[in-house]
Amino acid sequence: MKWDGHTHSKFCYHGHPAEQQEYLERAIEMGFERYSVTEHPPLPDKLVDNPQLMLELAMPERELPDYFAYMKEMKARYEGRLDVAIGLEMDYLYRQEDFSDRIVDKWAAQMEDAVVSVHYLPSRGGAMRCIDYTADDFKDAFLGYYGSIDKVVEEYFNHVEMEIEWAAQLPMRKRIGHVNLIRKFRKELPEMDQAFIRRRLEGLLPKLKAAGIGVDVNVAGLRAATCEEVYVPEWFMNSCRERGIELVYGSDSHRPDQVGANWDWFAERIGM
Ligand SMILES: [Zn+2]
Ligand SMILES: [Zn+2]
């Protein structure tokens, strides 16, 4: 099935204010059959110690009902033309898992899809910092604090494992978001140990299989000049296929013109 499984909307404040029809018409034009809207849900107050950045990271909690109502209307409007699946890109929130649990408990009945992502790691004083904001911010937050890029990568994969444990209990269709997001700024960071990353990724495979969690084959890294990689290595895609772990293409669109981006890359690799 031609499916874009990871997209954002006007409810994202680091995205684009376009109405949903612009995204959905573009998806139909490109021949998509299913389109998952997976917006960033609200975050705990002061998750990161930067009020301006907090405003950009996610919608305020009071908007979540509007998001579901709006997408429900879109789903009905496009019925028969495009299967609009409503979901969220849930954050794995280390030591604040109960915040995400509360959102899921409240909205699970409305959610067809959950992409589950690690976007934050602890830094100085235990405060959370973004791993995907800017290269300079990454260096400032993590390189000195963890001591080396290898230690940052190790901690990232520790969090991905906790994320899988957390996501295992979700009742809806679920996928792990951009599993190699830690490589977003790779060209501006000290070189990462690829053999170590491979070992850690291999270690995830049985956990994903056991938990019934799929993989978001997220192509947004191809658009980042500091990365120019898909956030899922090809060998990992092959291992997932061998094990029957679902692979779902994800444009991670934050603007209508990003819908379906690099679909051909994905289609070629899975023989579609
Ligand atoms: Zn986003
Ligand atoms: Zn994400």
Task: List CB contacts of 201: < 8 A, sequence separation 6 or more.
Answer: 157, 179, 180, 233, 236
State mean pLDDT over 88-106. 97
Ligand in nearest proximity to the CA of 119: 2
pLDDT of residue 18: 97
pLDDT of residue 272: 80
Ligand in nearest proximity to the CA of 56: 1
pLDDT of residue 35: 98
- Between residues 165 and 271, the one the model is more confident about: 165
Confidence of residue 219 (pLDDT cuts 50, 70, 90): very high
User: What is the C-alpha separation between 97 and 237, in angstroms, rounded?
Assistant: 28
Q: Which domain holds residue 248?
A: 3-269
Per the CB < 8 A criterion, the answer to whether 151 and 142 are in contact is: no
How many separate domains does the chain show?
A: 1
Ligand in nearest proximity to the CA of 15: 1
Q: What digits encode the pLDDT tens for the residues 59-95?
A: 999 999 999 999 999 999 999 999 999 999 999 999 9
Residue 237 φ/ψ, nearest 5 degrees = -60, -45
Strands 113-117 and 34-39: unpaired
User: What is the C-alpha separation between 118 and 121, in angstroms, rounded?
Assistant: 8
Instruction: Reply yes or no on whether the pLDDT at 223 is more than 90.
Output: yes
State mean pLDDT over 38-56. 95
Per the CB < 8 A criterion, the answer to whether 213 and 222 are in contact is: no
Instruction: Reply yes or no on whether the pLDDT at 271 is more than 90.
Output: no
Domain CATH number, residue 156: 3.20.20.140
Instruction: Reply yes or no on whether the pLDDT at 230 is more than 90.
Output: yes
Tokens linked to 139: 């260096």
Number of C-beta neighbours around residue 264 at 10 A:
10
Ligand 1 centroid to residue 57 C-alpha, Å: 7
Per the CB < 8 A criterion, the answer to whether 85 and 72 are in contact is: no
Ligand 2 centroid to residue 243 C-alpha, Å: 25
Residue 108 φ/ψ, nearest 5 degrees = -50, -40
State mean pLDDT over 117-133. 96
Nearest-10 crossing angle of helices 64-77, 97-107: 40
Ligand in nearest proximity to the CA of 58: 1
Strands 34-39 and 83-91: parallel
Per the CB < 8 A criterion, the answer to whether 41 and 86 are in contact is: no
